[in-house]
Structure 1
Amino acid sequence: MGRTNGAGALALRRVAMAVAASALVAGVTACDAAYEEENAAANGTATKSALAWGDCPPTAPGVTRDPRLTCTAVEVPLNHTDPDGRKIDVVVSKLAATGDRRGVLVVNPGGPALPGLDTPGQWAAELPESVVDSYDLVGFDPRGVGHSTPQSCGLEVTDPAGLFPYPAADGSIDANVAVARATAGQCADTIGDDLRYFTTANTARDLDLIREELGEEKISYWGQSYGTYLGAVYSTLHPDRTDRIVLEGNVDPGNVWAGEAARWSKGLADRFPDAAKVAAAQGVLGSTPDEVADAYLALAERLDREPAPVPGTQVSLNGAMLRNVTYALLLDNETLPVLAQVWKTATNIVDGTLTAADADVIKQVFAGAPAVPGVPADNQATMFLALTCGDATWSHDVADYAARVRQDREEWPLTAGMPRNIWPCAFWPEPVEDPVTANDEGPHNVMVLQNHRDHATSWESGVALREALGDRATLVGVDNGGHYVFGAGSACADEATVEFLTGGDLPGDDIECTDVT
């Protein structure tokens, strides 16, 4: 059982976005006024919500939305230290509990900068009935993202993966330095100082205002990927307002963001053999995992030197694109067979030996992502930079980046030095505040779900989050690959999660799950 936004559909959507080169809730109307007092949560709802729920903003063409989903807007300060200053809107969605309501479960799909309005409907289709019965599932587009006062630097890049700074074929980072400086300058010229306030800490403060507007004394929360950092920050700032917290595929809160990116190299090396085994079984790139790995590296290096036009598209396949597709399809075990076919098609593109089957892969993987009405095309890329550059200070030492890239390329060839390379963050304005330091002050109410072979947020990051939270948390480690834990093949992890959310049973000792199927 995999949630729609966490399995193959999301991975393929990210691939399409990666390889392709303030309209707020206009439809919200006053209906479904507020929660009824007789449905007060077991953890104690203090007040009746005054929010007006109505239609949600339009989706991208072809995207299906749960018809039960309703939306509203919550006004928040741009700068929480100046509550009477400029206001922005955050758009919130709700899927009402279907049974004996416990409270609200806020869900965040990660990113950084993924929109979340449709997450409640997507997850409800895959979560067990006991969870959907117990909670109003609440999603939101974080500040600056999607329909929540969307930000745009006017970038040509439309997806964060297009920002990943792969060095030149010879390892030089000169072009990366120029692009990083120009991108940072473009955001400063286009948006200016206001962009500095679109941070994770301020998003967490927005979340607490959403809690107030919902009329809840406490909220439960489930965050994936970047959403784990948001959850850790919220539960640190407001530990007494948290009910049951699930963090899945975890960011090290003491390592944002340059240090977290640097772990991608080892993470990919740990994860890649899972895909290489699948490819070898299909006879793609070799008959053994080692042969597959060698052939993949040779293919990527060849594409670094000589990009190949993709027939029927305006795209040329280069080494960075191949690596980005690989990264995206490694997120879920369900897409490993698709990844093997992508590698085969890439080889055929280079060799000029395309087959009918390759045409289907090209259509599926290299198609552009549909535009979302009212949202700038570069919104996610812009907000990825705002968060990763604005949450914490990055080094400004260009020579140090070059040295780290040389070392990384030698030690971890699969990532070609990209994770240690220079980003626009090296030329970004200083953050408005220091990162929030996660700590163990608060109730024992956080479940940390982490795969051992997660290339996007590593096992080491999950352990670091567990250690930072101390007695507040229990770690559920899973002997699996990929970025998603729940619904990815471990009954042990799934049962522990559901028992915690529905019954409050959070074991005091960490759990190791080895039952992956």
Structure 2
Amino acid sequence: MPLSNRTRRKALLLTLATTAVTATLTAPVQAAPAARPAAPALTWKPCPSPAGATECATLSVPMDYRDPGGQRVDLAVSRLRGADSPARRGTLLAIPGGPGGSGVARLAAKGAELRKQTAGAYDLVAFDPRGVGGSTPADCGVSEDDRELTHLRPWPGPDGDITANVARARRVAAACQTNGGAMLRNISTANEVRDIESLRRALGEEKLSAWATSYGTYVAATYAQKYPHRTDRLVLDSNGDPDPERVARGWSANMSVGTDDRFPDFAAWAADPARDRAHRLAERPEDVRPMFLKLAAELDAAPRKFSDPAHFPLTGNRLRQALQQTLYSKNAFEPLAELILAARDTAGPLTVRDVLPGGPISGRETAVMVGTICNDVSWPHDLRTYARAVTADRARHPLTAGMPAGVMPCAFWKTAPADKPVRITPRGPSNILMIQNLRDPATPHHGALKMREAFGDRARLVTVDSGGHGAYLANGNTCGDRTVTDFLTTGRRPTGDVVCPKE
């Protein structure tokens, strides 16, 4: 599945030939939850913009669940109805990545294919998390310059200096504290999980199935931990390490390893003798990495301008960021190769397209991303910790130049997390199927192994011998797609963890 620029912004065994499968186990008996007020009904209407057969509704939820009678938040919800057949299963929730991804947009993009794969067995439902898309918006009032991607992400100076990162992180944190208000204080994974439970009740479903991607896998895992008796069939696609001591700080740090895991795929593509001259970067795959590092260092010293003044200059860090995003999907390899060749072999303004979008990311996306990662877990406040981590990470992983270990606005966050991060455990129904690319640049395979270990026998892991971010209906592996589809439609999972061979 080719990923949009916005999606790309927002990170390791047996062959599955004749693997036996077994039906998913049922949930153990749980005590009935305490009585709560009736869930608000959903009024479904045609969506305001063309989106196939999708219906839309608005769900009102408490801004602060500790004050259920207080201020409310509206969540934009969408639905693609399933088929009216004996095979009808229930509702499957599409949980987006991010933080800051739109569930409504993801369902619009993938709903028709998912409905086809599952033969209409589910009503497919999604929602925009609070602060995002059509839901009640969040905004910190962060300046456009600080919302530019290579500024918001803590790319250090050419020599590893983090002074500019520290100043920017301090500004963003101060803006969120001043302008974010109660909305920003109540953006977190814990509240997204509570919103999912409110949505389940509004839908009138006893249980929910889900297809969660990227950051959404942590949301789904947390929901499965908090509400195990409310889960049916869960697919977790492109998983991060759920370590409750680190959470997003760990996901960011892991991108260094993920980029190293994935880069050889790009190098092999870029040195393929069959590649045309407009895209071939080197004679041998092992020559691509030093060439890229040399070019990035040259752009650190002397950035290149584009002929289109709307584009930011091509700096070393913008080239590194372009690489990190390009590795999400093989479909992006060609434009990156064109950019590298133009920057390396031409003079004057660059006339090729920029791989990165020219403008800043939105205020909503910025607020939700920063709010979630800073409200979920406490980050270190000692700036020397970040300086040491950046120095070490630059030495081990020069492709990412220390950015994944850099200082974020969370280092200056004034409020402690309202909820303790959830620890994922083996307690609960065995109804989870994880799927993971072996060479994922954003959520590397070793992090998925940590999630698998945390779940124990509740989960099975399907490792796909492929690269890119997103496995199911994404990077083209028939074995992986078939295994997930079979689970969603029949409930059967592999009896153990499996590997889908390279195709």
The TM-score, its normalising length taken from structure 2, stands at 0.87
- 1:52 equivalent in alignment to 2:48: no
The 1:172/1:180 distance shift into structure 2, 3 A limit, reads same
Take 2:442 and 2:182, find their aligned partners in 1: how far apart are those partners? 30
Aligned partner of 1:123 in structure 2 is: 110
- Shift, 1:505, TM fit: 0.4
Native 8 Å contact 2:40 2:60 kept in 1: no
Structure 2 unaligned blocks of 5 or more: 11-26, 28-37
Take 2:232 and 2:255, find their aligned partners in 1: how far apart are those partners? 32
Amino acid at match of 1:319: G
Amino acid at match of 1:201: A
Aligned partner of 1:410 in structure 2 is: 395
Look up the SS of the partner of 1:73 in the other structure: strand
Native 8 Å contact 2:306 2:349 kept in 1: no
Aligned partner of 1:83 in structure 2 is: 68
Aligned partner of 1:477 in structure 2 is: 463
- 1:454 equivalent in alignment to 2:440: yes
Of stretches 323-332 and 336-345 in structure 1, the one that deviates more from structure 2 is 336-345
Match of 2:426 among 411, 415, 440: 440
- 1:111 equivalent in alignment to 2:102: no
Output aligned runs, 1:155-194, within 5 Å. 155=142, 156=144, 157-158=146-147, 162-194=151-183
Amino acid at match of 1:210: L
Take 1:224 and 1:158, find their aligned partners in 2: how far apart are those partners? 24
Amino acid at match of 1:386: G
- Shift, 1:335, TM fit: 2.4
Take 2:262 and 2:443, find their aligned partners in 1: how far apart are those partners? 11
Take 1:419 and 1:489, find their aligned partners in 2: how far apart are those partners? 28
The 1:224/1:346 distance shift into structure 2, 3 A limit, reads farther
- Shift, 1:366, TM fit: 4.3
Aligned partner of 2:138 in structure 1 is: 151
Native 8 Å contact 2:148 2:359 kept in 1: no
The TM-score, its normalising length taken from structure 1, stands at 0.85
- How many residue pairs match? The answer is 463
Look up the SS of the partner of 2:225 in the other structure: helix
- Shift, 1:497, TM fit: 0.3
- Shift, 1:389, TM fit: 1.0
Aligned partner of 1:500 in structure 2 is: 487
The 1:334/1:128 distance shift into structure 2, 3 A limit, reads farther
Match of 1:467 among 440, 450, 453: 453
Take 1:83 and 1:68, find their aligned partners in 2: how far apart are those partners? 34
Match of 2:185 among 196, 199, 218: 196
The 1:13/1:286 distance shift into structure 2, 3 A limit, reads same
Aligned partner of 1:385 in structure 2 is: 370
Aligned partner of 1:302 in structure 2 is: 298
Structure 1 unaligned blocks of 5 or more: 19-42, 59-64, 370-375
Aligned partner of 1:26 in structure 2 is: none
- 1:318 equivalent in alignment to 2:306: no
Write the deviation string for residues 356-388 of structure 1: whole angstroms up to 9, x where unpaired: xx54x34x754558xxxxxx9311011110111
Native 8 Å contact 1:159 1:380 kept in 2: no
Native 8 Å contact 2:184 2:367 kept in 1: no
Native 8 Å contact 2:115 2:124 kept in 1: no
Look up the SS of the partner of 2:123 in the other structure: strand
Native 8 Å contact 2:233 2:431 kept in 1: yes
Take 2:433 and 2:119, find their aligned partners in 1: how far apart are those partners? 19
Match of 2:78 among 93, 106, 110: 93
Q: Aligned residues: percent identity?
A: 40
- Shift, 1:510, TM fit: 0.8
- Shift, 1:353, TM fit: 7.5
Native 8 Å contact 1:278 1:340 kept in 2: no
Output aligned runs, 1:328-347, within 5 Å. 328-347=325-344
Amino acid at match of 1:214: L
Match of 2:122 among 115, 123, 135: 135
Amino acid at match of 2:457: D
Write the deviation string for residues 323-351 of structure 1: whole angstroms up to 9, x where unpaired: 222111111123223332232234356x3
Look up the SS of the partner of 2:177 in the other structure: helix
The 1:292/1:159 distance shift into structure 2, 3 A limit, reads same
Match of 1:240 among 219, 225, 229: 229
Amino acid at match of 2:387: A
Native 8 Å contact 1:447 1:476 kept in 2: yes
Aligned partner of 2:286 in structure 1 is: 290
- Shift, 1:127, TM fit: 3.0
Take 1:125 and 1:176, find their aligned partners in 2: how far apart are those partners? 42
Take 2:7 and 2:431, find their aligned partners in 1: how far apart are those partners? 32
The 1:163/1:341 distance shift into structure 2, 3 A limit, reads same
The 1:223/1:345 distance shift into structure 2, 3 A limit, reads farther
- 1:251 equivalent in alignment to 2:240: yes
Native 8 Å contact 1:159 1:381 kept in 2: no
Look up the SS of the partner of 1:111 in the other structure: coil
Look up the SS of the partner of 1:470 in the other structure: helix
Aligned partner of 2:384 in structure 1 is: 399
Write the deviation string for residues 129-165 of structure 1: whole angstroms up to 9, x where unpaired: 2415111111110011112111011121446664110
Output aligned runs, 1:248-287, within 5 Å. 248-254=237-243, 255-281=246-272, 282=275, 284-287=280-283
Native 8 Å contact 1:160 1:380 kept in 2: no
The 1:330/1:462 distance shift into structure 2, 3 A limit, reads same
Native 8 Å contact 1:160 1:384 kept in 2: no
